[in-house]
A and B are shown apart, each in its own frame.
Chain A
Amino acid sequence: GAVVSQHPSWVICKSGTSVKIECRSLDFQATTMFWYRQFPKQSLMLMATSNEGSKATYEQGVEKDKFLINHASLTLSTLTVTSAHPEDSSFYICSALDTPAESYNEQFFGPGTRLTVL
């Protein structure tokens, strides 16, 4: 089956530093990946859509200069949280869309990355 991995699975960093999170589709190509954020006891919130070879599109209220997204290949998208602060502590989840998507259920989620900013 289709597998999406994320690295690291958890990370602790100091306030003011930058953290990079990788999202990989292991056995399929994904021209489109999505990044979500989930705070404790809350639902997932879509942050941005990552498109291979082009700029990411961000949802309203998400700072594109703070959350840098790079989708350099068909199997890898990265999310960099720049100058992280404690309020950025959250569970970050990516999903990848199989390409070509022949049906609507070809979207697969990664296991998530727990970010804690001290």
Chain B
Amino acid sequence: LAKTTQPISMDSYEGQEVNITCSHNNIATNDYITWYQQFPSQGPRFIIQGYKTKVTNEVASLFIPADRKSSTLSLPRVSLSDTAVYYCLLLSNDYKLSFGAGTTVTVRA
């Protein structure tokens, strides 16, 4: 069973910020919160990963509250090419990834 819960879909427009919140109430001490992006008929692509507080890279930011029971992926100024499925996963030291349904983000012009 997937260990995370996230919205099934989100719609946005070009240039807007998209925030996807993921719930992981049973996160373990060793778990890292990891987000992947997947386009149709392609393998997932790593976006960002964090353990606590805030992580930022060139494509996204990840906000993690102190209790780590949820996290929010923030995509700044999305474009049409950001239309994809976004997966929130918990990665532990066995490196196994349990994919949930993901969030289908649709960006419109």
Contact = CB atoms under 8 A, between A and B. Distances in A.
A45 B96 CA distance: 11
B49 A111 contact: no
Interface residues of B, number: 21
B44 A44 contact: yes
Main secondary structure of the interface of A (DSSP, over half): strand
Interface residues of A, number: 24
Contacts, number: 55
A44 B99 contact: yes
Interface string B82-106: 0000010001000111111110000
Interface string A1-40: 0001010000000000000000000000000101010000
10 closest A-B pairs by CB: A109-B43, A44-B99, A43-B99, A104-B32, A105-B49, A93-B43, A109-B44, A112-B43, A104-B91, A111-B43
Interface of B: 2, 32, 34, 36, 41-46, 49, 87, 91, 95-102
